[in-house]
Amino acid sequence: MKQVSIIGIGLIGGSFALDLKDYMSGVHIIGIDQNEAHLKEALELEIIDQIGDLDSLKTADLVVLAIPVNAAIKALPQVLELIADHTVVIDMGSTKEAICKAVATHPRRAQFLATHPIAGTEFSGPSAAIKGLFKNKTNIICEVEKTLPVLGEEMLALFKTMGMRLRFMPANDHDKHIAYVSHLSHISSFMLGKTVIDKEKNERNIFDMAGSGFESTVRLAKSSPDMWTPIFEQNKANIIETLTEYIQNLNQFKAYMEQDDFEAVYNEMKNTNHIKQILKGIA
C-alpha cells in the first residue's frame, strides 16, 4: 500500500494519518478537505504529505472517509466511481446503517468496508489529531461479509497493527447500541450544559463553584455541532428511544424526591453503582 487519500483531515482522519505513517513505511498520504486552512495546517503539521483532490482517488490504494456522516453518505457512491479496481475504501462514521444502505446495490460495494473506531475527543480539526489515538480502542466493523475478503482482511490486519480490538455486528445493531453508549451521552451533556448556562447566565462567576464532576459530565458539550447534528439525524429513531427512556428515569427520580421517598432515591443510585465494574473494561 503506497498511496492513501484521506477525505477529511480533522481529529479522526488526521489521527489515522499519523498512525499510518508510523506503521506503514513509505506510505504517501494525500489530504482532501473543503477547509483549505485545515489542509495547510495538516501539511505543516506533517499529518499529510500532499494536498490533493478527488483526482488522486484514481491512483489511491486506500481511501479513508473521515467527514461528517451526512457528507459521507453523499460522497461514498461518488468515491466508489472514481477508484481503481484494487482500491479499498473505509469510512469511520458514528452511524453505520445509512452509509451501508447508500451503497447497498453499488457495483463497487465489495470495495467498501464500514468501520467505526470508538475513539475521539471533544476537539476537532487537524490540530486535534493525536498519534496513537486508536490504540486499545474498539473498532466496530459492519457487514464485513459484503467486502471482498482480500481487501477486508488487509484493513482488519491494519487496524490490529494500530492496536485496535475488532468487533463485528450488523449495521442496525451498531446504530441501536451506539445510541445508548455514545449518542445519548452527548445529548445528556449538551442539555446539562444548556440548563446550567441558562440558569446562571447572569452570574457567570458562579462557575467558580463547579468542580471536576461538573466538568466531567459536560465535557462532551464542547463537541462539534457540525459533526453531531447529522449523526443525530441519521440515528433519529434509536436516539429518540434512548431519550424517552432517559427522560422517564429522570422523571421517576424526581417523583421519588417529590414524594420524599429517599429510600427509593438511595436504591436507584445503589443499583447503578455497579457501573464501576462495567466501566473497568473501558480504556
187 touches its own copies by CB under 8 A: yes
The DSSP 8-state label assigned to residue 145 in this structure reads G
Q: What are phi and psi of 104, to 5 degrees?
A: -55, -40
Residues 77-116 that bind its own copies (CB under 8 A): none
Binding part of the chain for its own copies, among 25-33, 78-86, 133-141, 145-153 by CB under 8 A, reads: 133-141
| Residues of this chain, 139-168, that bind its own copies according to CB under 8 A | 140, 165, 167
The separation between CA 275 and the C-alpha centre of its own chain, rounded to angstroms, equals 23
Nearer to its own copies, 58 or 199 (CB): 199
Which of 137, 148, 151, 163 touches its own copies by CB under 8 A?
137
Identity of the residue, 159 or 232, whose beta carbon is nearer to its own copies in the bound complex: 232
Q: Does 135 bind its own copies (CB under 8 A)?
A: no
Minimum Å gap between C-beta 156 and its own copies is 16
Binding to its own copies (CB under 8 A) within 214-253 occurs at 214-223, 225-226, 228-230, 232-233, 236, 239-240, 242-247, 249-251, 253
Q: Is 49 helix (H, G, I), strand (E, B) or coil?
A: coil
Q: Which is nearer to its own copies, 62 or 227 (CB)?
A: 227
202 binds its own copies (CB under 8 A): no
Inter-axis angle of helices 225-234 and 69-82, to 10 degrees? 80
Q: Which stretch binds its own copies (CB under 8 A): 72-80, 105-113, 135-143, 147-155?
A: 135-143
What lies within 8 Å, CB to CB, of 186 at 6+ separation is 220, 223, 228
Burial grade of 36 (CB within 10 A; 0-12, 13-18, 19 or more): exposed
Cα 260 to Cα 99: distance, rounded to the nearest angstrom: 49
In the bound state with its own copies, the residue whose beta carbon lies nearer, of 154 and 200, is 200
Closest CA to 140 of 171, 184, 183, 162: 171
**For residue 225, how far is the Cα from the chain centroid?**
13
Contact positions with its own copies (CB under 8 A) in 259-278: 260, 262, 265-276, 278
Q: Minimum distance from CB of 78 to its own copies (Å)? A: 23
- From 73-81, 106-114, 132-140, 154-162, give the range in contact with its own copies by CB under 8 A: 132-140
- Closest contact distance (angstroms) between CB of 65 and its own copies is 20
**Measured distance CA(120)–CA(94) in Å, rounded:** 11
DSSP 217: H
Measured from the CB atom, the residue of 105 and 273 that comes closer to its own copies is 273
- The three grid cell numbers given for residue 38, joined into one nine-digit string: 485545515
Q: How far apart are CA 241 and CA 180, in angstroms?
A: 9
Whose Cβ is closer to its own copies: residue 78's or residue 259's?
A: 259
